[in-house]
Every structure is written in structure tokens, then in C-alpha cells.
Structure 1
Amino acid sequence: MRELQNSNPRRLASFRSLPGVLLMLLVMLLVPLTSNAFATEPRRLVRTGGTPGGTCALSSTLLQSTETENVKAALKRPRGASIGAEFTPSTDLSDGDLSVLSMQLRKAAKSSAIWTSDAGSVAKLVEEQESSRGDFPGPCVVIYNGSLEENTDIESVCDASAVVLDYGAENTLNMPIIWRVNTLEHLREIADESGEGVFLLSEDCLPECGDESSGASSDLREVLDNLPNAVTIASLPVMQAANAEIQFGKHLVGLGINSLILQNACVGDEEDVTYTQWAIEMLNKKASSSFSMTGLTGSANGHFGVASHSGEMKWRRLQQ
């Protein structure tokens, strides 16, 4: 036995050192993997000549795909429609006031998205929304639906969750895109092709508010039935007589629209959150909006921001 044990000392030594060698190899493999797992590549802005504003380039295709899916998930829900508010400032808001508005749209109004054509507000809105990551409710997506001209602050626009471009326009922005569709014919083309994507329908694609029984509704329904995998979005006019936007919004959802925008709901006045909260609550209600009272008040005397005896809401903004 002693002879056998001492017959090949080199082989015995190599077997004894084998666990250490394996451990070293394992460490060498795991270190780069774990460092890559926790490394995040920031979004970089690449400005290119000849293109209005330049190009927003994402450093990772996987990151872009993930962000696109996040936008889709925020706008298309398993049941019902998502509802977002559009911010179109009529007055300059301080950074603090804009942050408070952003927070209130998320927490009080329960808006699913904030849309804005004001490039200078995008970064501030995104910053405030991102501060709620990990909280409930979590961040709203911030979508830029303004123009992309030479003087547009493209770097701020690149902070948005998505941008809106006209359908068929050249896309130089390597980030989530929402295509603005101006005719039902274009929407039919989309249905005949991939049938996928996120699309903002212009007024020309929709029936008129208050005229839901027109043939435009049946035409729209027919096209939407052929777009089961797309995300379709429509804007609602706000503060309408007899609360007409509520019935109109419910009608559009019934036709197959996935997401609604309260157009110009927020302009920087005292009724921004009051109106948005009321409209989202009413659009989510199954009952008729007529004779529905609300505890929201837009002024101390109660004449604005509360329902009249007929159920119609009165808004101070319309009186100015």
C-alpha cells in the first residue's frame, strides 16, 4: 500500500491542487460577467449634420427594445384604456411648480402618461417621474409630441420615453417612436403590412366629438379590428359643454382605441390637476357621466370644478 501511495507523487500533487485551480477558473469567469451585469450604459446623444436637430442614439439595441416595450405596456392595458394628460404651458412654470404638477398627475390624477410639446419641460418631467421609481404608483411615461426643428432642444427630447413622428417620415431617432397617422388610408396600410407599432390617430381619423353615430365610427372600428397587435391612441378635447369629452372618450374605447390623451388638460393653472383627476375618474366609470357629483373643487366658492344641477362641470379656465 505504501508503495502504491508513493508510486506517483506528481499525480497526487496535481489532484490535491485541482480544487484550487477550478476555483480560480470559476472566479475568472464570474468577475467579468457580474461586472457587465451591473454596468449600465447611459443614453448618448449623437448629433449628425444634415438632419434637423441631429440623432438620439441609444448605446444598446436591447435597451431600446426594452424601452419600447415599457411604452407599449404603459399605453395598452389588458382591460380598458390608459388615459394620459397633455401639458401645454401657457405660462412659464418654475422648476418647483413643474415638479409638483408632475407628481400630482401621477399620484392624485393617476395619469398613465404625460404628453408635452414643450421640449424644455421634458427633462424636468422625466427627472421627477424617475424619482418615484420603486414607489407606488411608479413613474409615468413622458412623451414628446412637439416639432423637431433646428432650434429644438434635442438633448432634452432624448430624455423622453418616446417621441411622436408623422407616419412615413424619415426616422433618425434611435429611440421609441409613436407614429402620427393622419388618414384612415394610412391606418389601413399599416394593417395590411406588419399591423404592429404605436400609433397616434389625428382628428381626421376620428368621428367628431358629439357626433359619435356618424359613419366615421364604423369605418374606424373596421380598421381597428384589423390591428389587434397595435397600440392606438386618440386625443380628447377637454372641458366640453355637457361633459361631451367623457362620452366621446368612452365611445372611442368601445371602437377599439387603446389609449386616450386629455388634450391641453394642463396649461399651468389651478385647474390642471382638478380637471385631469375628474376626467380620468369619469372615463373609468361604467355609469353615465350625467348627474355624477364629485368632491373636487377648483375654487373656494365652489362655483368651478363641481357639477351643476344638470351634471355639467363648470371650469374657471373657460371663463377667462
Structure 2
Amino acid sequence: MRVLGLLGLIARLPFVDAAAARGALFPRSGALTVAAELRLGANALTSAEIALLSMKLRRECNVAALWSDAVPTLAEVCKEQATAATDFPGPLPVVFAGAASEVGMAVAAGASAVVLAPANVAAEALGVDVLWRVSSAAEVAAVADAGHGSGTFLVDGEGADVGDILGAIPPEAAAVVAISAMQADNEEVSLGRRLAAAGCRSLLVRGACVGDDEDVAYTRFVVGGLTSKMSSKFKIDGATGAANGHFGTSGGSLLRDSKTNWRRQRERTMT
């Protein structure tokens, strides 16, 4: 189904609070938030296993939101999160970051927000938050020119142009910056801290969960590493590097002396 043909479908969907995702990713306190992506492709989990993972991520990992690019996974996660309506912590927003042709199914399954490319700027009336995936300052300008300048942007934190892209985002807008999970020497934590020191308020850890038995432990580790208090020296070093555009360089990590070697990393090295 084409994105432009979704308006009739959306009118028949149950109400979804369109402010839920942005409010969770950017709380009024200004605290840094971290979201975790579920990328379960190679490891097929049962519905019960996905529900258990969803519950543990909510209860044990202090994540702000969950992301998925697969509608079946997203549907199971949304279903489980809905059971926490009277719990603390309550339901997490679930963001769909898959194919634009599947956006309607994702919203029908309960997605709180969807990720779209600038080519889909006509899809604003989806009834949920839209995050615009941009890869250049020109794409930021195109989204803003289409009337979405106060929206939310998704930026690759490991791209060479990340500094230019973040600098082009209008001050009234917000940005989620994506970093990859389980990098060598905990570099995702180092990079995330530098981004936070430069003013980033929301991070997405791509591939944090892949359906193995390290998912919850790793997510707890990376969220803790990114959100724990930083020393004043790190804040100065990180802000200086970020201001100079050196988002992707090494150094400054408070976790260098406690490198974590995950089995997933070892298996990746062996293949």
C-alpha cells in the first residue's frame, strides 16, 4: 500500500496518542534518552519470546522507546506494551522504521511513530508521530520547506556529515541520533557520550536486540553507559571534539578500562 493512500485506512484505526513518542524521546527534564532497536531477522522468536523480551526491556533497561523494522515483531511488542497500561513503568512507545509500503500495517498494529524518508513528506496525516530520516543538510531543508521544520529528524551518528546535518536542523525541531550496537572497545558508548556532550538529547542504538540471550544484558549495559553521569573532563573533551566535527573519533570513554567482549562480537569476528 502506498503511503499516499493511507488516509482512508487511518480514519478507521484506533486512537494512538501522536505525542507519546516525541514526549518519551524528549522529556521536559532535558535528560538524555536511549531507545533500543529490535532487529530479530536471523533469530526467529516465538510470540511468547518476543513478549518476554519486550517486558524485560521495559522493566529492566530504562529505555525510552523500542524500534523495529518488521511489522510482525512490532505487532507483538505493541501488544505486550499495551498490557502495562496500569503498571510502572508504563507502556513504551514503539517506532516503526521499516518499508514505507508497510507503514499502514504498522500503524494498525499500534506503532506510536513511523520513520519516513523526505520523499514521503505528504504522509503527515498518519495520526502518529513521523520521524524524518535524513542523510544530508539538503534533505533537512527539503523536509523543512515542506512544512515539517518543527518535526523530528533521524540522523546517522556515524556518518561523515553528521555535524553538518545536525547543524542544519531548525532550532524548533528535534533529532534522534542513531549509533550501532556492540562496537569494538565500547565505541558506541564513547560516541554517544560525545554526541550528548554536544547537545544531543536522544539516541537510538541500532541492532541492540537481535533475539539472542545477550539482548537484555547488553541493552541494560549500553543504556547505563550512555546515561550515567560524566566527569567534567569528559564533558569538556567531548564537547570540544563535537564542536570540531570529530564525532567519529576515539577517545574520552570512561569505559575504556572495562571493555566488554560480547559473544555476538566474537561470533561476528569469526565469520
- TM-score category (smaller protein): 0.7 to 0.9
Partner Cα distance (1:190, 1:113) in 2: 24
> Which residue in 2 is equivalent to 1:133?
85
CA distance in 2, matches of 1:185, 1:156: 28
- Partner-residue secondary structure (3-state), 2:212: coil
Deviations 1:7-52 (A, max 9, x none): xxxxxxxxxxxxxxxxxxxxxxxxxxxxxxxxxxxxxxxxxxx736
Identity score, percent = 28
Residue equivalent to 1:319: 266
- Taking a change above 3 Å as real, the CA distance of residues 188 and 250 of structure 1, as seen in their structure-2 partners, is farther
Q: Say if 1:123 and 1:157, in contact at 8 Å, map to a contact too.
A: no
Q: 5+ residue gaps in structure 2?
A: 235-251
| 2:244 equivalent in structure 1 | none
Aligned to 2:115: 164
Counterpart residue type for residue 143 of structure 1? V
2: CA distance between counterparts of 1:155 and 1:207?
A: 30
Considering fraction of residues, name the structure with more helix: 2
Which one has more relative contact order, counting CA pairs under 8 Å at least 6 apart? 2
How many pairs align?
Answer: 239
- Whether the 8 Å CA contact 1:122–1:157 is kept in 2: the answer is no
2:187 aligned residue: 244
- Answer yes or no: is 1:124 the counterpart of 2:85: no
Structure (1 or 2) with the larger CA radius of gyration: 1
Q: Which of 168, 179, 201 is 2:132 aligned to? A: 179
Gaps of 5+ in 1: 1-49, 209-213, 293-308
The answer on whether the counterparts of 2:118 and 2:142 sit within 8 Å (CA) in structure 1 is: no
Distance in 1 (alpha carbons) for counterparts of 2:22 and 2:173:
9
SS for the counterpart of 1:269 is: coil
| Letter in structure 1 aligned against 2:197 | G
Shift of 1:190: 4.9
1:87 to 27, 35, 38: 38
* Contact kept in structure 1, 2:51 and 2:80, CA below 8 Å: yes
Q: Aligned partner of 2:65: which letter?
A: A
How large is the Cα RMSD of the aligned pairs? 2.8
User: 1:74 and 2:24 equivalent?
Assistant: yes
- State the AA in 2 paired with 1:129: Q
How far apart in 2 are the matches of 1:312 and 1:167? Answer: 38
Matched, 1:261 2:204: yes
